[in-house]
Amino acid sequence: MGICGTAMGNTAIMLKRLGHTIYGADTGVYPPMSNVLADAGIAIVGGFNSKNLEDLAPDLVIVGNTISRGNPEIEWLLESRRFTFTSLPALLQDFLLKDRFNIVVTGTHGKTTTSSIAAYLLDKAGSDPGYLIGGVPYDLPTGAYEGKKGGPFVIEGDEYDSALFDKRSKFIHYLPTILVINNLEFDHSDIFRDLADVKRSFSHLLRIVPANGYVLINGDDDNIVSLLPVPWTHTIKVGVGEENELRIGDFQESLNETHFNLYWRGELWGVVNWNQPGLFNARNAAMAALAAGLTLHPDNPTMLSLGEINNFNGVKRRQELLIDNKRIKLLEDFAHHPTAIEQTLESLRCRYPDHKITVAFEPRSNTSRSDVFQQEFTHSLRVADQVLIGAVHEGQKLHPGSRLNTPQLAAELNSDNISAQAFSSNLELLETLWELTIRAIDQDQVIILFTNGSFDEIIPKLVKRIENI
């Protein structure tokens, strides 16, 4: 149920390859996932109806976390008690993870990129890893692969809840041998009350890391450090500070390259020169390299060569360069938390110091649509020269007093001499962006569109217009 979600669809395909017969239902049956599922031979029903289940008589029903009470299939399941049902995370635990060496990558930011690098390094080392990644890595053939039986498995550990009947974070089900905690901030205000609530969920996860496992933490993040000690397993700190066992040093960023060194317990492990932006991605790479190194060489992770990191090409929709011509650099980025937006903009400042930076931002996630980060967004967007704020996604469903106040956000930015406008329509934003930035270009420009959704399909329209200039 809810088969067209990225994680659900990819898991369905993996299970099909493992020999199971899979059927699915969803309301949003559209490409690309509908095509991917069809190519895998998985039948999809549009919409939910209890007759779907009665006719199929499945051995197991997997209920996605987008399914809520009132759905006709879940209501029939609860009333009839005809078939066993479970959540997607519990399914992964029972069918894929229980006999594996699992690398679980968690944190507020960077899970997809870190997971992709770890899987990529393990693959290049010939270990045939399994992986489930919530994005589209350029360097792997797919976002989900079962890998060698009994071998390592890399999975993103999301702190969001598992299902309507299981409000624990998904990652509680993932049986980590190596647990990566990239960073820890407040997010998902529809699930967690405050930062203490988020930390509580992470503390529960720490309790299931085995004695022969590892916890790799961002040693520069006080929120994570506050969860220590965890004396029942091995803890390794990663970061830029001298107290970290794996230290990122000599970081430099320029137009076409980022450089940094990795030092393991004071000794140089390797030098990285790659095209991924920002210190945040350097930290993702350090975490991934250590996780892969410990998986293959637990006594000496530096036996893993870092050379392949230089060839890593990133993940689609993560600082993705869509247009790169003489005057305009157009990027799309999945960031929707103020910290991630600020870090990306600071990286762009390093890479393009002489360019005007314009941001178009769609408040779309459950937290970014609310007023929880009203001041934080004001602070993070100050790094730009010009800011266009899109319509709050499904803003009519939120009480005006708890909704992100985009006119106020624009007014505060304008008072700081940042040109800013708020829009009630994303199509209106597109036209204004075109008139202000593209048609009236007066200097080299970087335009970045931040959204974790479709932005009402304005991005491909903008790309097409620029290509036709």
For residues 431 and 369, state if they share a domain: yes
Residue 156 pLDDT: 95
User: In this structure, are 127 and 54 located in the same domain?
Assistant: no
- Paired with 43 in beta bridges are 23
Q: Please indicate, yes or no, if residue 1 is contained in any of the structural domains.
A: no
Cα 118 from Cα 238, distance rounded (Å): 15
Tell me, yes or no, whether 33 lies in a domain: yes
Sequence-distant (6+) residues with CB within 8 A of 184 are 107, 108, 198, 199, 202, 218, 221, 223, 224, 227
183/51 same-domain check: no
Residues 293 and 401 in one domain: no
Q: Taking residues 193-201, what's their average pLDDT?
A: 96
**Cα-atom radius of gyration of the chain, to the nearest Å?**
23
> How high does pLDDT run on average in the chain?
93
| 454 in a structural domain | yes
Please determine, for residue 147, whether its predicted confidence score (pLDDT) is greater than 90.
yes
**Alpha-helical segments (H) within 133-254:** 195-206, 222-225
| Same domain assignment for residues 110 and 69 | no
Distance, in Å, from the CA atom of 105 to the CA atom of 157, rounded to the nearest integer, reads: 5
Q: Which of 297, 286, 300 is nearest to 127 (CA)?
A: 297
Q: What is the pLDDT of residues 228-276, one digit of tens each?
A: 999 999 999 999 999 999 999 999 999 889 999 999 999 999 999 999 9
Q: How confident is the model at residue 197 (pLDDT cuts 50, 70, 90)?
A: very high
The answer on 370 and 283 residing in a single domain is no
CATH number, domain with residue 358: 3.90.190.20
For the beta carbon of residue 358, count every other beta carbon within 10 angstroms.
22
Q: For residue 206, report the phi and psi dihedrals to the nearest 5 degrees.
A: -60, -30
Residue positions counted in the chain? 469
Range of the structural domain that residue 330 is part of: 320-467
Q: Are residues 187 and 151 in the same domain?
A: yes
Say how far apart CA 79 and CA 275 lie, in whole Å: 55
Range list of H helices, 125-241: 195-206, 222-225
What's the CA gap between 261 and 286, in Å, rounded? 10
* Residue found by looking up tokens 């899109």 in the block: 390
Task: Record the tokens describing residue 277, joined without a space.
Answer: 């932006």
Place of tokens 């289940």: 53
Q: Are residues 332 and 263 in the same domain?
A: no
> For residue 181, what pLDDT is reported?
98
Q: Alpha-carbon distance 458 to 297, whole Å?
A: 47
- Per-residue model confidence (pLDDT) at position 439: 65
Residues above pLDDT 70, as percent of the chain = 98
DSSP 422: E
Looking at the fold, whether 118 and 259 belong to one and the same domain comes out as yes
Q: Residue 21: which CATH number? A: 3.40.50.720
Whole-number pLDDT of residue 104 = 98
Question: Checking DSSP bridges between strand 258-264 and strand 267-274, what pairing results, if any?
Answer: antiparallel
pTM of the full predicted structure? 0.92
Q: How confident is the model at residue 128 (pLDDT cuts 50, 70, 90)?
A: very high
CB 467 within 8 A of CB 328: no
Give the confidence band of 5 by pLDDT, cuts at 50, 70, 90: confident
**Counting beta carbons within 10 angstroms of the beta carbon of residue 2, is it exposed (0 to 12), middle (13 to 18) or buried (19 or more)?**
buried
Question: What's the total number of domains in the chain?
Answer: 3
Q: What residues does 218 pair with on adjacent strands?
A: 238
Q: What percent of the chain stands above pLDDT 90?
A: 79
Whether the per-residue pLDDT at 8 is higher than 70: the answer is yes
Q: Which of 282, 311, 340 is the last residue of a domain?
A: 311
110-127 mean pLDDT: 96
Are the C-beta atoms of 189 and 370 separated by less than 8 Å? yes
Residue 40 phi, psi (nearest 5): -85, -5
Domain identity same for 212 and 348: no
Please say which residue of 55, 83, 111 terminates a domain: 83
Inter-residue contact 248 to 279 (CB < 8 Å): yes
389 within some domain? yes
Strands 101-106 and 85-87: unpaired
Q: Is residue 457 part of a domain?
A: yes
The H-assigned helical ranges of 297-371 are 338-351
Three-state secondary-structure class, residue 211: coil
Question: Residue 440: its pLDDT value, please?
Answer: 58
Whether 340 and 462 share a structural domain = yes
Residue 251: CB atoms within 10 Å: 15
Lowest mean pLDDT among 284-298, 326-340, 390-404, 440-454: 440-454
Domain match, 63 and 146 both: no
Of 37, 62, 83, the residue at which a domain comes to its end is 83
Reported in sequence order, the residue ranges of 211-297 that DSSP labels E, i.e. its strands, are 214-218, 234-239, 246-253, 258-264, 267-274
CA distance linking residue 70 with residue 72, whole number of Å: 6
For residue 203, being part of any structural domain is answered with yes
Does any domain span residue 72?
A: yes
Give backbone dihedrals phi and psi of 156, rounded to 5 degrees, phi first.
-70, 130
Domain with 113 in it: what CATH number?
3.40.1190.10
pLDDT tens readout for residues 350-401: 999 999 999 999 999 989 999 999 999 999 999 999 999 999 999 888 888 8
Q: In 3-state terms, what secondary structure has residue 20?
A: coil
